[in-house]
Each structure stands twice: as structure tokens, then as C-alpha cells.
Amino acid sequence: MANSGQKVVLITGCSSGIGLRIAVTLAKDEKKRYHVIATMRDLKKKDKLVEAAGDAYGKTLMLLPLDVCSDESVKQCINNVKDRHIDILINNAGVGLLGPVESISIEEMKRVFETNFFGVVRMIKEVMPDMKKRRSGHIVVMSSVMGLQGVVFNDVYTASKFAMEGFCESMAVQLMKFNIRLSMIEPGPVHTEFETKMMEDVAKMEYPGADADTVRYFKDVYLPSSIDIFEAMGQTPEDIAKCTKKVIESNSPRFRNLTNSLYTPIVALKYADETGGLSVNTFYNLLFNFGPLMHITMNILKCLTCSCLRRRTISPN
């Protein structure tokens, strides 16, 4: 139970990665300003979180089961919070999907949208009425730079993040009238177990329905380039947690928060040309015409992005 003066923070998807690190970071706040409710679908996967939380577990951090794909689970979880009072909702739960779109079933696509888009909508719909009554609250949504700029072979994942960005951009206007803030956290590549495993798995998979050239481009061109980008520009879950903490502690939190300033020029390409040709042609040439040059560039960038520079990319301000 939260102490007087503590803000109640509910976080989705806390079994690993970014969600786990945000939960631990807030629960271990030196001033003990937060009472963290960390949620996950299966509480059997709580061990990593409990270990990372240490003494904070059972004090400033508690666990609740929550499946963002289930209306009943969402409602039951919020009803289990004292007075349904949540000051800060952090929507972190998400799933990825990577590969040639011809080989991806509609059911797999729906699963991604069910979690990444409708899961966020469910959570906001459930907590928003109480926040409106209190005329206070902060809703944080873990988006992605892919919610701003499409990335080849991430078609469906990107689409789910684009949908979420549009939804939140619309909601933010309405919520301001009720003194409720809405903030998007937009990381680029983040080194997590989830990302590493996904890269390993997709490299081994067959892609029925996709032509041989597309599969070759995916495995021999895109995947190596993607690994280069992760190694050169990737952040850690700790980086994203620090950024998120800064956002919720800001007196005037920004709506959009790119966590990695190295991605700002990439996003800017999209808005520099209203026809869209600049960004599409640039990414095409980088991937298919200048692949070796891109590999060299990423290696140089990897050397340049020392720990000092990477720390500077954490702040949303």
C-alpha cells in the first residue's frame, strides 16, 4: 500500500527488459516517492524482477498479474489497486514481429496489434475515467522511433507503433483539459534479451510465401545491417528507464521523447520532403546500394559513440 505522498505507478510488461528496469529504478528511488505496481502476464516469471528489486520488493514494489490483451484481466488488475487510484500509468508491454510480410499470417499480425495497440487502449480506457475525476494523472506510452519512421522488414510492428502514435496524439489534446499528461517514450534499438533472441530466431527461420530474392535481401542484407545499427547505436534498458524517470519527474513533460539523439537526423529526413521521396530513397540506397559503406559507417560510429556520448543521449531534454 502506498504511503502518504507517494505516487502510485502501474507498469505493464515487467518480467524483463525495459519494463523490469523502469520498475526497479522507480522502486529504488532514493526519496521513496513511488509505490510501484509491476505487472506481467505470468507471475511465474517474476524471479528476475524480484532479484533486481532486492529490498524494495514488498515495500515500494508489489506485483500483480495482468494480460493487456484481456478486458477482464485489465479490469481485475485495476480493481485490485486501492481505490483504483493510479497516478502514473506506464504502458510498456509489447511484442515484435520481423520478416517478409508475405510469410507472416494475418493472425500473427493481429496478435501484434492486440498487444501493441489495443493493449495500450485497454489500459488507458480503464484508468482514464478515474484520472479525469481527480483531474490529475500522467500516462506514459513506450513507443519507438519506428512509430515515426518506417523500417524495412518491420512492416507490421511499425504499423502498430504508428497506430499508437496517432491514437495518443489525438488523446493528448483531450486529456490536457482534465490536467492529465500523456507522454510518448521513443527509443531506437535497445539491447534486451527479447531483441537478441528475436534476431537469432529469424535468421534460422524459413519464410514460405516469400520469393527467394526477398528472403536473401532479408537474411543477407537487412539482418547484418540491423546488427551493425544495434551495436553502434543501441541503448540499454537502464538508459530508457532513466529517460522515463526524467519524463515523469518533469514539471512540464514533453509529449514526444526520443531517447537517442543519434536518431534525430533520421526522423528529420521524413519531414524535410513532403513527397516522402527523400527518406524512402535514402533508406533504399543505404540498404541496397551502399551496404558496405553503411557497414563501415556503423563501425566508425561504434568507435565514436563512447560511453560519455551514449550517456548524453539518455535525456529527453
Q: If you average pLDDT over residues 152-175, what whole number do you get?
A: 97
Could you say which of 157, 217, 222, 263 is catalytic?
Answer: 157
Q: How far apart (Å, rounded) are the C-alpha atoms in residues 182 and 172?
A: 6
DSSP single-letter state for residue 2: P
Judged against a pLDDT cut of 50, whether residue 268 lies above it is answered with: yes
67 marked as part of a ligand binding site: yes
Q: Are 313 and 260 in contact (CB under 8 A)?
A: yes
Judged against a pLDDT cut of 50, whether residue 205 lies above it is answered with: yes
Judged against a pLDDT cut of 80, whether residue 196 lies above it is answered with: no
pTM: 0.90
Give the DSSP H or E segment for 45.
Answer: none
Give residue limits of the domains in the chain: 7-212+235-263
Q: How far apart (Å, rounded) are the C-alpha atoms in residues 145 and 162?
A: 10
27 marked as part of a ligand binding site: yes
Per-residue model confidence (pLDDT) at position 303: 56
Q: Are 48 and 19 in contact (CB under 8 A)?
A: no
Q: How far apart (Å, rounded) are the C-alpha atoms in residues 195 and 243?
A: 20
Q: Are 158 and 151 in contact (CB under 8 A)?
A: yes
279 marked as part of a ligand binding site: no
Q: If you average pLDDT over residues 215-229, what whole number do you get?
A: 88
Scanning the chain, the segments in alpha helix (DSSP H) are 17-27, 47-53, 71-79, 106-116, 118-134, 155-176, 193-204, 212-216, 223-233, 237-249, 264-272, 277-284, 291-304, 307-312
| CATH for the stretch 7-212+235-263 | 3.40.50.720
Per-residue model confidence (pLDDT) at position 228: 81
Q: How far apart (Å, rounded) are the C-alpha atoms in residues 161 and 167?
A: 10
Closest among 269, 279, 236, 255 to 21, alpha carbons compared: 236
**Residue 157 catalytic?**
yes
Of 191 and 138, the structure prediction assigns the larger pLDDT to: 138
Per-residue model confidence (pLDDT) at position 5: 85
Share the mean pLDDT of the chain.
Answer: 90
Q: Can you spell out the DSSP letters for 143-168? A: --GGGTS--TT-HHHHHHHHHHHHHH
Q: How far apart (Å, rounded) are the C-alpha atoms in residues 168 and 174?
A: 10
Judged against a pLDDT cut of 90, whether residue 221 lies above it is answered with: no
106 marked as part of a ligand binding site: no
86 marked as part of a ligand binding site: no
Judged against a pLDDT cut of 60, whether residue 309 lies above it is answered with: no
Q: How far apart (Å, rounded) are the C-alpha atoms in residues 79 and 192?
A: 31
Q: How far apart (Å, rounded) are the C-alpha atoms in residues 243 and 259?
A: 7
Residue 158, amino acid: T
Q: Cell numbers at residue 47, please?
A: 524471479
Q: Cell numbers at residue 214, please?
A: 526477398
Per-residue model confidence (pLDDT) at position 310: 47
37 marked as part of a ligand binding site: yes
50 marked as part of a ligand binding site: no
Judged against a pLDDT cut of 50, whether residue 47 lies above it is answered with: yes
Percent of the chain with pLDDT over 70: 91
All residues at 6 or more sequence positions from 169 whose CB lies less than 8 Å from its CB, including other chains: 255
What digits encode the pLDDT tens for the residues 102-128?
999 999 999 999 999 999 999 999 999
Per-residue model confidence (pLDDT) at position 203: 79
